Chains A and B, each alone.
Chain A
């Protein structure tokens, strides 16, 4: 994917919020092109959110997740500067990842 992942991590007190936007077609496999040919499914199947390198949220996604998936998560015990990263894998074996540091929100 050419467009970069957008990831924003803010901390208030010790509670961290992470918002991620992962540019991806998330083609559901249910659509047809103008010629009537089925468009093959192409979608993110798994994501991993890691805190300072350790996985804390793992997701399995299906084709019902909207194009350019946007998620918000909450983590506890966070301080400014902690690193959060997101990695995704799709059904064609393509991957993406991005990292950010928590900043006071």
Chain B
């Protein structure tokens, strides 16, 4: 691998490293790890995953994602997400085929259960992904959701 390729491949991880270190050095401030807003501007799920540092997330059965198989109204698709991976500090949701795939991210302190319910917009039928972050590692689960009427355009 040439040096330039290496830098391109790992540039984003390097940029995030100081934040990760800051988080590890101050465990009492579990919420100190800030969000990378640029990931919310990413136009593909692959780019968004790379920008949140989760490109290599491994599939886990310890993340629960409840979502309808068929959503009649893409403007408000109810989801419920929970991670039983010990030490989960962040949950991120991506909708692959939305114009901007990264939908939201939550950081959880020790007093909070790594679980939430939300309503999201889906432009069209798409893969819905959850990424759970625990101990600096990333885990993922996904599910396909069919959308009858898209919820992003008019």
Please report A residues at the B interface, Cβ cutoff 8 Å. Answer: 15, 28, 30-32, 45-46, 49, 51, 54-67, 69-77
Knowing A57-B106, A60-B40 touch, does A69 contact B118 (C-beta < 8 A)? Answer: yes
A-B contact number at CB 8 A: 101
CA distance A23 to B25 in the complex (A): 37
CA distance A38 to B112 in the complex (A): 39
CA distance A75 to B116 in the complex (A): 10
Contacts of B123 in A (CB 8 A): 30
Question: Which of A49, A61, A62 has the most C-beta atoms of chain B within 10 angstroms of its own C-beta?
Answer: A62
B99 pairs with A30, CB closer than 8 A? yes
B115 pairs with A66, CB closer than 8 A? no
B152 pairs with A28, CB closer than 8 A? yes
B106 pairs with A59, CB closer than 8 A? yes
A65 pairs with B104, CB closer than 8 A? yes
A74 pairs with B75, CB closer than 8 A? no
CA distance A53 to B102 in the complex (A): 29
CA distance A45 to B121 in the complex (A): 15
Knowing A28-B121, A64-B120, A64-B121 touch, does A59 contact B104 (C-beta < 8 A)? Answer: yes
Dominant SS among interface residues on chain A:
strand
CA distance A30 to B99 in the complex (A): 8
What class of interface size applies to chain B in its complex with A?
Answer: 35 or more
Contacts of B76 in A (CB 8 A): 66-67
Knowing A55-B109, A62-B100, A75-B112 touch, does A69 contact B121 (C-beta < 8 A)? Answer: no
Within 8 Å by CB of A74, from B99, B113, B120, lies B113
Please report B residues at the A interface, Cβ cutoff 8 Å. Answer: 31, 35, 37, 40, 75-77, 93, 95, 98-100, 102-109, 111-113, 115-123, 151-154
Within 8 Å by CB of A56, from B75, B112, B116, lies B112
B109 pairs with A56, CB closer than 8 A? yes
CA distance A90 to B129 in the complex (A): 25
A-B contact pairs, 14 of them (CB 8 A): A15-B113, A28-B152, A30-B152, A31-B152, A56-B112, A58-B107, A59-B105, A60-B37, A62-B103, A63-B100, A70-B119, A72-B117, A73-B112, A73-B115
A74 pairs with B154, CB closer than 8 A? no
Within 8 Å by CB of A64, from B31, B104, B106, lies B104
Contacts of A64 in B (CB 8 A): 93, 95, 98, 100, 102-104, 120-122, 152
CA distance A76 to B120 in the complex (A): 26
